Structure 1
Amino acid sequence: MKKYFERFFQTIVRPEYQVVMLLITTSIVLLLGGRALYRFRPLEQQPELFSITPAKMRKWAGDPVTVTVGLYVSSWHQFEMVENEFVFDGVVWFQFDPALIALETIGKFSFQKGELLQKSEPNTKLIDGKLFAEYKIRLRFSTILNHSFFPLDDHHIYITLVNTYVTPSEVIFKSFKSDFELSSGIHIPAWNQIDKAVMTGYAKELFDKFDERKSIRYPEVVFGLDFTRSGISLLLLIFLPVFLIFFLSLFWFTFKPEQSGPIMALTTGAITSLIGYRFVIQNMSPKVGYFLLSDHLFTFFLALAFISFVFALFLVNRGSMSPALVIARGIIFITFHVLFMCIWYYLLFIWK
């Protein structure tokens, strides 16, 4: 039995069998990666939004005016998901009873985490006895993004409209999904917009967390957009070189310990190449303070490359192979492949 294992592990590290193992690992990795690409997994949390209930209205003792709010996005001037910078042209519109609230008050709207670069004078008309007012705008905004799955990340983007000059006891914003539209001619490279949502309510800011009376409330509308990555170019650009650098370096297993030159060249070359390519990945990645999916995989491959280097150094210093070392070498080789597939599955389908 020992001779069988020795012969098996001696054979498994030959170049032709390494190529077979590499093809098997690659096929499984591509299969799992393809499944992950079709899963929509945004990690962003919805902005805090409080519902307006009849009990709250009785408590506030108000008789609010209902204002319908809509947003139309005509074009994106800037759409930088990595940098978290967005600029679009569009139209914000309101429909309300002018006898109950002034147009000047409605026009004091603003956007959280946003800056109105342009805002036109209102264009108004009467529709069904109510005043319809539209403002052409150019908005620059940012949102809270979670890039943990980069470069397989999907995102919720939130555009939050508020009016801090009124309270929910004075004005209630009403909006539906049909009131939020985007131009059919919009095309965003590398991203697909797959869904949208609208939420209404009010926001609350506390000046003293121990005394809720020291607070302000104002009506709020949250327009949400769902985006998923299109194409696999970025995925291949980040992962494929790292994958090839490491697994091609494993061909040192085919050399005898006496052949120290090619063994040390392959193992040290893998470490230095991975470290060098790290700077390329860093330039393409979002600047965040937490580990990304790409960071986890890079760290994993770097750790395996270091283990491979230490084992190679041990064999070179020993100068010969014993049956136990033949078996250990084969086990380490197979373990590297199996461990990578397990880590890949974990990061794609269990992590987060």
Structure 2
Amino acid sequence: MSTLQNLTHEKKQKVLKYSLIIAALYTIIIVFSAYTMYHNRELSNKKHALRMNPTGIEPGKTPPEQLPETGNYATVKIGSYVENVDNLLIKDSMWSVNFYVWFSWQGDAKLDPGGKLVIVDGIVNKKELLEDYHGKDGDNYQRYRISAKIIKFFDTARVPIEDHMLNIYVEDGAKDGTKLRYVADKTSNISSRLNIPGFKITSHSNVVKTHTYKSSYGDPRLSPDSKKVFSQYIAAIQIKRVDFGFYLKIFLSLFAALLLTLSSYFIKPSDVGPRFALPTGAYFGAVANTYLANSLLPTSGSFGLVDHVAGVGLFTIFISIATSLLSNYYARMEDKELSLALDRTMFKVVSICCVAANIIIPWCAR
């Protein structure tokens, strides 16, 4: 601060004006990015809650048709036990799972609810009937082990410190809600050995909801504008990143580039080559880091946490180069005191704003 105290009042005003402009620009960026991340997090939590609410409707989804309370339909209790998750590939929008599913019901032994089960948005790779019991008292039970690949378009707005809900959707492919309805078995669970690298499991749950298809499937017994409504069982596993380790791993090169950029403030403005070589090299390093980070995500036109953090980094490099040009201008005008004071002040202002941005934005996403 001694370099600033030695300046005249007019020159101090100049340094203060430049500092306020830069701080204001950073504030706009931080507020916009932090609000975007916070809003996305809240929206994601809301969608997850509605998905596992028996009467909840997620935004953008078709509202389910209500099934009549009475009718000639079979009631089947259904439950699941998730054994393991083979793969979770966010970039490829899919995950693979091995799980058990069982059915228990009273009455017709020929009902066979598991015979034509369907994994919605998924492909059944293997289905094994492990138990098939039909008692004289009318109790019936089936248990299957299923290996399935499930398509899921992950919300990547907050990668790499995001959370996800992995869902298994089970329906009877032959019998709609007028013929068969599920009841969720509260004994459903997940294996204690279930582990997903890089994530921790925060909760699991299951629910039964109605699922409407906007088609009659060409059934001649139905009117062309009618819809099919099925009883759907949903098992959910809530996961989130373990810590900030993956975040730091992705942006390690970017943070190194920013340190290199900030160190350029301690090089004399008259040494044009070294002074501008550091932030210029850091700029290309930051761009390369952005390409690397985005290579982990599916192609998307939306901006996420990766883009916001990269944007802050590129803006910091740009501001450093701009203020270096300003400092070089005053040095050439033989105003070395103002040039030195500008360098020292800009180093502090830009450093504080950059660090604040890289704390506040990820915190709002988390």
Q: What CA distance in whole angstroms lies between the structure 2 residues aligned with 1:149 and 1:163?
A: 35
- CA change 1:335–1:191 in 2 (3 A) is same
- Aligned equivalent of 1:15: none
The partner residue of 2:110 within 102, 123, 126 is 102
RMSD between superposed Cα atoms in Å: 3.5
The residue number in structure 2 matching 1:330 is 344
Q: Corresponding residue for 2:361?
A: 347
Separation (CA, whole Å) in 2 of partners of 1:259 and 1:170: 82
In the comparison of the two structures, how many residue pairs are matched?
316
Is the 8 Å Cα contact of residues 107 and 138 (structure 2) preserved in structure 1?
Answer: no
Q: Distance in 1 between matches of 2:3 and 2:117?
A: 80
Q: Which residue of 1 aligns with 2:176?
A: 167
- Aligned residue for 1:217, secondary structure, equals strand
TM-score (norm 1): 0.77
1:124 is aligned to: 132
> C-alpha distance in 2, partners of 1:132/1:6?
87
Asked if residue 252 in structure 1 is aligned to residue 264 in structure 2, the reply is yes
Conservation of the 8 A alpha-carbon contact between 2:161 and 2:244 = no
- Name the amino acid aligned to 1:340: C
**Equivalent residues of 2:103, 2:113 under 8 A apart:** no
- Return the match for 2:306 from 288, 291, 294: 294
For 1:84, the equivalent position in structure 2 comes to 93
Structure 1 regions of 5+ residues with no counterpart? Answer: 8-35
AA in 2 matched with 1:157: L
Is the contact between residue 81 and residue 191 of structure 2 (CA under 8 Å) also seen in structure 1?
yes
TM-score normalised per structure 2: 0.75
Query: Does structure 1 retain, via aligned residues, the 8 Å contact 2:54–2:207?
Result: no
Q: Is the 8 A contact 2:190 2:204 kept in 1?
A: no
Q: CA separation in 2, counterparts of 1:118 and 1:245?
A: 49
- Matches for 1:164-243 after TM superposition, within 5 Å: 164-179=173-188, 181-207=189-215, 214-243=226-255
Letter in 2 for 1:5: Q
CA change 1:49–1:112 in 2 (3 A) is farther
Deviation at 1:342, TM superposition (A): 3.5
The answer to whether 1:267 aligns with 2:276 is no
Identity rate of aligned residues, in percent? Answer: 18
Aligned residues of 1:91 and 1:137 also touching (Cα < 8 A):
yes
Deviation per CA, 1:258-314: give whole Å up to 9, x if none. Answer: 111210111211112212222222233444332221211111110110121122234
- Which amino acid is the alignment partner of residue 196 of structure 2? I
Q: C-alpha separation between the residues in 1 aligned to 2:91 and 2:308?
A: 18
Q: State the AA in 2 paired with 1:131.
A: N
Query: C-alpha displacement at 1:71, in angstroms?
Result: 1.4
Contact 1:42 1:153 in 2 (8 A): no
Q: Gapped runs of 5+ residues in structure 2?
A: 8-36, 57-64, 217-222
Deviation at 1:192, TM superposition (A): 1.5
The equivalences for 1:25-174 within 5 A come to: 43=44, 45-46=47-48, 47=51, 51=55, 59=68, 61-99=70-108, 102-121=110-129, 123-126=131-134, 129-174=138-183
Tell me which amino acid in the other structure corresponds to 2:266. T
Alignment partners' CA distance in 1, 2:214 and 2:52: 13
Provide closer, same or farther for how the CA distance between residues 69 and 285 of structure 1 changes in structure 2, counting only shifts above 3 A. Answer: same
